[in-house]
Amino acid sequence: MSYSILVIEDEKNIRKIIVDYFKSENYIVIEACDGKEGIEKFEKEQVDLIILDIMMPKLDGWAVCRRIRKKSQVPIIMLTARTEEDDELMGFELKADDYVKKPFSPAVLVARAKLLLNRKKDVLKEKEDIIKKHGLKVDRLSREVYKDEKRIELTPKEFDILYYLMENEGLVFSRDQILNHVWGYDFLGDTRTVDNHIKKLRKALKDKSYFIRTVFGVGYKFEVKE
């Protein structure tokens, strides 16, 4: 996977060095020469991480960081030629992820970016493994289910049905589709097996049983209507 890096830096030579190092590591690099252009590029492009200089014309790094944080939690590494501790504290107050003082090693900057991107990837993976919706929490790795923070016991097949429906909230699946996904294509039983497991699953969910909705003539879906 190629990550996209937005470099917002008004000093041309420094920007070129940063861009060249990231490109040599096979990153996609988007350049901006001031804060205003940086905001415009951020809003138009898919960005995985931002290298953001503080002292820039038109919009400084603080203003850019504030605007971005109103919309996104994309990782941000701030750059500065100043050494005041207050600047570093301000960066963290604005929820920047890292802070690098000039002059810096481009190789170290790339290494810091890799660390932040790996953390982001781990968080996304964790989100894929754990589904939290409407008071239900389903953990695919531990195969545990919590309802309003209290663990409930499900059979393996009940768990698989719930996870399948929750990760596809709002989509309707036929009994045959659920059979094929949960039991496999070589299962010799009939669709009543699905109905029996849905009945038991609803019983376990108690007051949240209505989340598993029957679509007559089609099948089942997970949906919550306020």
Q: What is the pLDDT of residues 76-133, one digit of tens each?
A: 998 887 655 555 566 566 778 888 888 889 999 999 999 888 887 766 555 567 888 8
Say if residues 220 and 212 touch (Cβ distance below 8 Å).
Answer: yes
Residue 70 has pLDDT above 60, yes or no: yes
Element (H, E) at 159: helix 156-167
Mean pLDDT of the chain: 87
Q: Where are the domains of the chain?
A: 4-128, 134-222
**Cα-based angle 127, 131, 137 (whole degrees, multiple of 5):** 130
What is the share, in percent, of the chain residues with pLDDT greater than 90? 50
CA 115/CA 120 separation, integer angstroms = 9
Among 144, 124, 145, which residue's Cα sits nearest to residue 205?
A: 145
Higher pLDDT, 86 or 26: 26
pTM listed for this prediction: 0.56
Instruction: Work out the angle at residue 201's Cα, subtended by the Cα atoms of residues 195 and 206, and round it to the nearest 5 degrees.
Output: 130
**Contact (CB, 8 A) for 61 and 53:** yes
d(CA 49, CA 85): 24
Query: Is the CATH code 3.40.50.460 the one for domain 134-222?
Result: no
pLDDT of 86 reads 56
The answer to whether residues 206 and 198 touch, using CB atoms and an 8 Å cutoff, is no
The architecture (CATH level 2) of 4-128 comes to 3-Layer(aba) Sandwich (3.40)
For residues 177 and 219, what is the distance between their CA atoms, to the nearest angstrom?
9
What pLDDT, in 10s, does the model give residues 127-160? 567 888 889 999 888 899 999 999 999 999 999 9
| CB neighbour list of residue 159: distance below 8 Å, 6 or more residues apart | 138, 143, 145
pLDDT band for 42, please (50, 70, 90 cuts).
Answer: very high
